[in-house]
Amino acid sequence: MTVLEDIIAGVREDLEARRAGIDDAAIRSRALAAPPARDAFAALGGTADGTGRDTVLRVVSEVKRKSPSKGALADIPAPADLAREYRDGGASVISVLTEERRFGGSLADFDAVRAAVDLPLLRKDFTVEPFQVWEARAHGADLVLLIVAALDDGPLRELLGLARELGMEALVETHTEDEVDRAVSAGARIIGVNVRNLKTLDVDRSNFARLAGRIPPSAVVIAESGVRDADDVAEYAAHGADAILVGEALVRDNAPADALRRFIAAGTAARPPRRA
């Protein structure tokens, strides 16, 4: 069993436990009654045809306590306070881990952040069932994560379609050429290239440069994982990243807002003219 398969097995068990406490009709009612989702595509610099974008690098800043590859990262006793620091540092979107077993997250963390900031929020979890999309919207999420390696084409399209029906977007995560092509075929508008292989947890930063050019200019391209410092950010930006998703480097920094500003400045300076 790969690391990804093991994580998803746990996610399904935890999902069934949550569903025992609230039925589908109730969670759908809460989702439909939630305030409208914020426009994460626009917040990340997206435009309808990919033209006319500015050159500012966007950052998706992550509330992340631990990871399968690094173990404990930070205690984060007050996720809302960290989220406010991210907002003040210039984050465009905030990602909140809600997977508990391997990442130490929870929907309670998500709720705390939602109450604290008005930025678009990504519910960062391993989405494999429609219930999780309804659940995300019920808690005020503006994006959900869809990992192509974890989903066949049918479920990928179904979950992406449901997210959009509910006014949200999806960050569709890829790691190989085939996964990028599947994401594009499914109609993804926000595509992440994760340089960490979730099946083995190995990191290859060159993977971003290899794959980013396969993504059409109409999509927002996000570089995920592997950010250690501003030089890494600049390298991703130089190879076509519209945004980066970073957690570890920020939660381990004693001044995350300042680190964010450095990342944005470095990435913006390195970005080439918008792809045509």
Q: What is the pLDDT of residue 273?
A: 75
**pTM strictly above 0.85:** yes
Task: List beta partners, residue 193.
Answer: 174, 223
Q: How confident is the model at residue 161 (pLDDT cuts 50, 70, 90)?
A: very high
* CATH H-level, domain 3-270: superfamily: Aldolase class I (3.20.20.70)
Q: Average pLDDT of 221-245?
A: 96
> 255-266: per-residue pLDDT in tens?
999 999 999 999
The residues annotated with a catalytic role in the active site are 62, 64, 124, 173, 194, 224-225
Give me the count of residues in the chain.
276
Residue environment code for 28-44, b if the CB has 16+ CB neighbours within 10 A, otherwise e: beebeebeebbebbebb
> 64-86: per-residue pLDDT in tens?
999 998 899 999 999 999 999 99
Q: What is the mean pLDDT of the chain?
A: 95
Task: List beta partners, residue 173.
Answer: 147, 192
Q: Average pLDDT of 141-167?
A: 98
Evaluate if residue 50 carries a pLDDT over 80.
Answer: no
Q: What is the pLDDT of residue 198?
A: 87
Q: How far apart are CA 108 and CA 246, in angstroms?
A: 21
Evaluate if residue 246 carries a pLDDT over 60.
Answer: yes
Q: Average pLDDT of 267-274?
A: 88
Residue 121: strand, helix, or coil: strand
Q: Are strands 71-72 and 66-67 parallel, antiparallel or unpaired?
A: antiparallel
Return the C-alpha torsion angle 94, 116, 85, 260, nearest 10: 20
> 176-200: per-residue pLDDT in tens?
999 999 999 999 999 999 999 988 9
Question: Which burial class, exposed, middle or buried, applies to 90 when counting CB atoms under 10 A from its CB (0-12, 13-18, 19+)?
Answer: middle
Task: List beta partners, residue 223.
Answer: 193, 244
